[in-house]
């Protein structure tokens, strides 16, 4: 499939390619996912590695929104899950999002900043933004700081650092 997202339609359209990677063989499937309730000017979209989550960002809401797909890569089965990440502390006009090859980092590039923002998912599923924000990757989605429960051996040091010991778990 080929997915096309437009700012004027506030939606994502799905096309079937009769020959893989050959857009000249595309035909419209009449499958459209409207994202207008969360973002009126969508700018970028990204599937997770197994196609069960779709992330959409844009310049009006300034968030990365997550949609859950009950059938992998089938946008007709998508439903809005949550605001996966609010990157406004680092970027006011998010434009591009992508994962590294093993899915341990999410990168965000915007139109306002002169940098690439990285959100790292470590083995313990903890993401710490060096600017001060805490984001946790829990159950396939980002859990915003302040809505996280840490169970087990974890704590903070007097300098504000956070340590997570083996066996600690997070829920949001």
pLDDT digits (tens, 9 = 90+) for 79-101: 998 887 888 888 888 888 888 88
Cβ atoms of 106 and 121 closer than 8 Å? yes
pLDDT of residue 8: 76
What distances in angstroms separate CA 3 from CA 31, 54, 170, one per listed residue?
10, 12, 34
This prediction's pTM: 0.67
pLDDT digits (tens, 9 = 90+) for 22-65: 999 999 988 889 999 998 888 899 998 889 999 998 888 888 88
Q: Using the Cα atoms of residue 45, residue 19, residue 102 and residue 109 in order, give the sign of their dihedral.
A: negative
Taking 70 as the threshold, does the pLDDT of residue 135 lie above it?
Answer: no
């Amino acid at each position: 499939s080929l997915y096309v997202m437009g700012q004027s339609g506030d939606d994502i359209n799905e096309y079937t390619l009769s020959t893989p990677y050959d857009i000249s063989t595309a035909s419209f499937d009449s499958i459209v996912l409207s994202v207008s309730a969360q973002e009126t000017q969508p700018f970028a979209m990204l599937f997770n590695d197994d196609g069960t989550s779709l992330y959409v960002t844009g310049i009006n809401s300034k968030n990365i929104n997550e949609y859950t797909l009950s059938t992998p890569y089938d946008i007709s089965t998508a439903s809005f899950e949550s605001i996966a990440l609010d990157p406004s502390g680092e970027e006011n006009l998010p434009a591009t999002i992508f994962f590294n090859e093993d899915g341990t980092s999410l990168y965000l590039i915007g139109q306002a900043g002169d940098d690439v923002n990285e959100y790292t998912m470590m083995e313990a599923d903890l993401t710490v933004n060096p600017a001060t924000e805490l984001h946790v990757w829990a159950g396939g989605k980002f859990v915003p700081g302040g809505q996280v429960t840490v169970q087990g051996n974890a704590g903070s040091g007097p300098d504000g650092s956070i340590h997570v010991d083996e066996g600690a778990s997070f829920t949001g």
